[in-house]
Structure 1
Amino acid sequence: MTTYSYLCTNFLFIETRYRPIVKLTASINISSVFLQPTNSLLSRIYCDKVTFVLRIKYRWEAMDAENEAIEQSKKTGRPFQAEVLHNGDTIKQLLARSRYVLYKKPSGWTDSQKDRAELLFERFPDLRIAYGLSMGLSQLFENTTDKVFALANLAKWHEKVRQTGFKAFNTIARSIQNHYQTILNYFDNRSTNASVESFNAKIKAFRSQFRGVKNIEFFLYRLTQLYA
């Protein structure tokens, strides 16, 4: 099943100028009525995206550096030997294998992942900053239960972004600043899109019984009779 968070994450990878021309399938058109994005969800997704893109950037740089070193070794006749870290990873492997480390909280890391994270953040301080900002925003939404404290914590997070000078987070910081009232509504009952995704799954299961939908109006009528 294609989840809403999956769609949001991949939609964010599309350049802004091309987003208006993205077309949805009939099934997504039907379910999209029930799947309106929340600013809190998009905020956290975008933070994860920044960390992901930064890791990929460093990985490509490591691959380019290694390829250049290999070419140079061929010219000099000396065998190429990649730097191996104390955990057995090369720099390229470290960046590739750190993918799931950056998606987890530190409390969820295994011993090998803790070791890998320490090496990663030592070599790439910007990733430490990006990871810290991303986890900080996630913890804010998970642990804060009061709108007043939420507003104060959002302001503190916004200030951290400003102090770090991390330009990649400016977009989400501005989004929070412009839509903070809507975002704060999340803390009224701490609602997420989990129930929406559950309902979306029911819609898709119902649609699959008919092998597609030709009459959308009648399909929506049937849905209201079953689930309203």
Structure 2
Amino acid sequence: MHRNFGLCPNILFKHYPILKAAYHLAMELRQIFNAKISPTKAMGRMNKWYEKVMALGNNNFRSVIKTFKNHAPTILNYFRRRATNASAEAFNSKVKIFRSQMRGVRDRNFFIFRLVKLYA
């Protein structure tokens, strides 16, 4: 087994330069979200990132741009308060698990009643 995992991406990137470019774009996006900057600066950096993505010409990243532009106010909220919807996602997951345990929902009122009793 190969212990030096640092070489694996280099070999992959050597043969597939588009993957290297996509990887670096993904890391740049990660840096934007990890930086503690104002929403205005974040939007400026995101616009520069959009330009780099368009220059790459990969349709997968273009769909990310469309999603970001459609949800720009919500995304920029993250830079204001560093707030996410993690608690809502966690609750949503609990509801899905509960629904699967009940094997679906036949009586909506009873289902909501049970949810309130369990999680409120």
| TM-score normalized with structure 1 length | 0.44
Match of 2:84 in 1: 192
Deviating 4+ runs (over 6 angstroms): none
Q: 1:217 to 1:187 in 2, by over 3 A?
A: farther
Contact 2:77-2:83 within 8 A present in 1 as well:
no
Aligned residues: 120
Amino acid paired to 1:203: V
- Are the structure 2 counterparts of residues 209 and 146 from structure 1 closer, same or farther at C-alpha, using a change threshold of 3 Å? same
Moved more, 139-148 or 120-129: 139-148
> Helix, strand or coil for the counterpart of 2:106?
coil
Task: Give the CA deviation at 1:167.
Answer: 4.2
CA contact (8 A) 1:144 1:150 kept: no
2:51: which partner in 1? 159
Q: Report the AA paired with residue 126 of structure 1.
A: I
Percent of aligned positions with the same letter in both sequences? Answer: 43
DSSP 3-state at the match of 1:112: coil
- The 5 Å alignment of 1:12-31 reads none
Contact 1:140/1:153 (<8 A) preserved? yes
Match of 1:112 in 2: 4
Structure number with greater CO (CA < 8 Å, separation at least 6) is 1
Q: Any unmatched runs of 5+ in structure 2?
A: none
Q: 2:32 aligns with which of 122, 133, 140?
A: 140
State TM-score, norm by structure 2: 0.74
If you compute each CA radius of gyration, which structure gives the higher value, 1 or 2? 1
- Aligned equivalents of 1:118, 1:165: Cα separation in 2: 22
d(CA) in 2 for partners of 1:119 and 1:208?
44
Change in Cα spacing, 1:177 to 1:208, as seen in structure 2 (3 Å) is closer
**Is the Cα–Cα contact under 8 Å of residues 147 and 187 in structure 1 kept in the other structure?**
yes
Unaligned segments of structure 1, at least 5 residues: 1-86, 89-110
1:199 is displaced (CA, Å) by: 1.6
| 1:14-53 correspondence runs (5 A) | none
Whether the 8 Å CA contact 1:158–1:173 is kept in 2: the answer is yes
